[in-house]
A and B are shown apart, each in its own frame.
Chain A
Amino acid sequence: MQFSSGKIKPHVGWLALPFALVFFAYFVLPLVLTIIVSFWDYTDYAIIPALILDNYIYIFDGCFSNEGGLCLTLKTYLSTFFFCFFTWLITLVLGFCVAYFLAFYVNSIPLQVCLFLVCTIPFWTSNVIRMVSWIPLLGRNGLVNEFFLSLGIIDQPIEWLLYSSFSVILALVHLYTLFMIVPIFNSMIRIDRSIVEAAYDAGASHRQIIFNIIIPLSKTGIIIGSIFVVTVVMGDFLTIGIMGGQQLASVGKIINTEMNYLQFPGAAANAVILLIITIFIIYVMTRFIDIRKEL
């Protein structure tokens, strides 16, 4: 809390230097370069230093006229927001429940640590493997369909289990729920138990305790988890590609295609727009809470 006054003792300032350098070299510099390149011109085989707005104009081409429905960029962002919103909602509910259980129902600390580690086990394999392993389960001749068919619940395989919005969100939730659990758990564990006990003694119901005490006090964790999930899903193209059968649009996929076709300035412009939109979402989220104060 002392740091918030802005006075750092001069002789310890250099301690921040290594991180500042890393931050500069691997974040600030590439970002600045991306922004610069987004104003460059390009051909099939070269990028040409220039200061043009064409790449941006191209992105919003047709977005401000009413002909032919939504433009590519809007459609793509809507599709990306759709995945982002539902993934966020489901990971939030799931993550909150798991964290709540771990923090308040498991009383011994060793068991808590143990169960927490169990949650991380899926992360010992690569995320591509975790994703691809859904395919034999959900496919037309997959385990789920075969199971339902053998029980006679369905007489035709369910097609929308795989290569659909459903499978994309399922995989995203599977991949990123932990990102919610960790920060929420971290906030919950710091809630003073005596507050909960006091509320209980004063006659608060279980529901009231959750909504009036636990949720407000774990807000920091919820927001941090949300930032993780939202930023990761906004830029995703691998999961949406593989689980969506490459038929569903995402901003990441468009950038990826442009990179493959050496349209670096176009990709850079798209990346800048994506960055602005993602930063805006995070800005709105952090309006709900001052993260620095809470940490």
Chain B
Amino acid sequence: MKNDKFSRRQMLKLSAGTVAATGLGLYAPAVISSDPITLRYLGTAVSMGDEVQKKLFEDTGLKVKFIAVTTDEVTKRVLTQPNSFDIVDTEYFSLPKLVPSGNILGMDTKRIKEWDNVTSIFTKGITPKGKKVGLQGTAPSKVMYLEGSTGKKFANDVTQYATLIPTIYNADTLGIRPDLIGRPITSWAELLNPEFKGKAATLNIPSIGIMDAAMVVEAMGEYKYPDKGNMTKSEIDLTMKIFTEAKKSGQFRAFWTDFNESVNLMASGEVVIQSMWSPAITAVKAQGKDCIYQPLKEGYRAWAAGFALPKTTKGKTADAVYEFVNWYLSGWVGAYLNRQGYYSAVLPTAKQYMSEDEWGFWMEGKSAKGDIVSPTGAKLASAGEKRDGGSYEDRMGGVACWNATMDENKYMVRKWNEMVAA
């Protein structure tokens, strides 16, 4: 198995290398006349493979050097070393920390070719078909604009300057092992169901963990939050009390901080129900284990990321950043992201790069007509299967809240630590 994988990867590299070499030959004059620019790209790079860099170079002659770090580390870098990168890929919920620092510039939407086609979830908070999306938490549409290119405050109205140019987003929910549970799961409340004592898990990333916890508490009927994404101290106390009791009674097998840990917990059967991210489900499936990204009646917790320009990027490099962003939104990457189960920000361009069957499976909730494969060639679904959660409208329209930075962030982190210590 291992060897197969290796040889395939090498083959891919070889062929991609050949393509790049040919590209180099063709574009050589252009490369010589203008200095080749290498953009330093800071981000978590969860979705960026070698293929993207190859394709980028082929299409534009630009090169990208990834600085791949964790979500928290991205924020830290933007605040402490804003000159160590040329473009940053960060999440919307980090913006309340980043924008007041003045370290990122508003991006000029007039220079973004596809700006008018960016999905309305970001610009208006509604799905393309007009369904209202839940706006609790740091919803992108609430922090989309700056008053000027150098503003430190979010604008209330639509302006020319965007905080982030959206790139990738998704609706998260619980992952389950249907073979080990053996009955339908329909509610977030099941995470704390004593039936799964010692077989449940959640994540030890406070800002995301608390949102999942809030979904559970609300589903249990314990409390209805005015805004899950911005709790008061007493709401944080209440939420953490319920989770602390569950933890003390041995509900959780483990907490996880790293994506791979969640995959291992699920694949080994240590855990049968847990907070999970979409590519982790794919990874469990790739090990031949049955795993579902279970849609739940209370809705999804969504997240979104986008590109920002640090204030230190100027002149030619800034031009290159805009060129890169425009290329990113022009469709090829969009299709690449959609095929991994994420969503791309500009849907019409991505559609051009996907087959009808792929588009139907990933975006419209239709049964696959043939095998559905990931960008790396792994088979994700066979003919007749449907995507968990259905269409784009159903999934994004079912969003209940967004990842958030709360006003009481400091208190929340402390309470979370107390739960871990309990």
Contact = CB atoms under 8 A, between A and B. Distances in A.
Interface of A: 43-46, 58, 72, 75-76, 79, 135-136, 139-142, 159, 162-163, 241-242, 245-249, 253-254, 257-263, 266
Dominant SS among interface residues on chain B: helix
B198 interface: yes
A261 B201 CA distance: 22
Contact of A245 (B70, B207, B252, B405): B252
Given A44-B96, A258-B413, A259-B76, 9 more contacts: A46-B79, A72-B417, A140-B269, A142-B268, A163-B254, A245-B253, A253-B417, A262-B79, A263-B413
A261 B206 contact: yes
14 contacts: A45-B79, A75-B421, A75-B422, A162-B270, A163-B253, A241-B257, A245-B255, A247-B420, A249-B421, A260-B70, A260-B72, A260-B73, A262-B75, A262-B97
A79 B100 CA distance: 38
A140 B98 CA distance: 43
B268 A257 contact: no
B257 A246 contact: yes
A107 to B, nearest CB: 45
B420 A253 contact: yes
Nearest to A260: B72
Contacts, number: 90
Given A44-B97, A241-B257, A262-B97, A247 B247 contact: yes
A247 B198 CA distance: 12
Contacts of B198: 159
A259 B206 CA distance: 13
B183 interface: no
Contacts of B257: 241, 246
Given A45-B101, A257-B417, A261-B206, A246 B255 contact: yes
Contacts of B98: 45
Contact of A44 (B72, B255, B405): B405
Contact of B255 (A247, A254, A260, A263): A247
Most buried by A among B100, B252, B254, B269: B254
B204 A261 contact: no
Given A72-B414, A246-B255, A246-B257, A46 B101 contact: yes
Contacts of A262: 75-76, 79, 97
B255 to A, nearest CB: 4
